[in-house]
């Protein structure tokens, strides 16, 4: 696996995911972090966008997934994002973290989150 990566950190979207009726009705913010592992040497040496993954395209794919579909579980949302990235872009591995800052939990906390790591099929 390449140690190079493209990082998208703190992408915030308003969406309607969750198991509780209020979450599905009112919605809430979700924050997504994604790390795409791939060899960045060709792009660095050629200074050519065609030799890398365009992070603007990744952003739009994540936004479309978060806001265009509904999931009960953060696990399902993270899995959908990871699988779409692996399908659409030439990456070896992807790490996806989905944060839910307004999770229906008592007390004070920053967020509830799920983090998954998936590899492309060789």
Catalytic residue ranges: 100
Of 88, 118, 107, 111, give the one whose Cα is nearest residue 29: 111
Structure tokens, 100: 């839910």
Structure tokens, 76: 């399902």
Burial bucket for residue 50 (CB in 10 Å: 0-12, 13-18, 19+): exposed
d(CA 14, CA 10): 13
């Amino acid at each position: 696996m390449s140690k190079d990566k493209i990082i998208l950190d703190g992408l915030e979207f308003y969406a309607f995911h969750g198991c509780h009726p209020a979450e599905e009705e009112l919605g809430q913010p979700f924050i997504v972090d994604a790390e795409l592992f791939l060899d960045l040497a060709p792009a660095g040496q050629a200074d050519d966008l065609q030799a890398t993954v365009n992070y603007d395209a990744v952003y739009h794919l994540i936004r479309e997934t978060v806001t265009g579909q509904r999931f009960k579980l953060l696990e399902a949302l993270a899995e959908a994002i990871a699988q779409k990235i692996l399908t659409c872009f030439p990456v070896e591995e992807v790490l996806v973290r989905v944060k839910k800052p307004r999770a229906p939990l008592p007390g004070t906390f920053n967020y509830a989150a799920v983090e998954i790591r998936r590899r492309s099929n060789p």
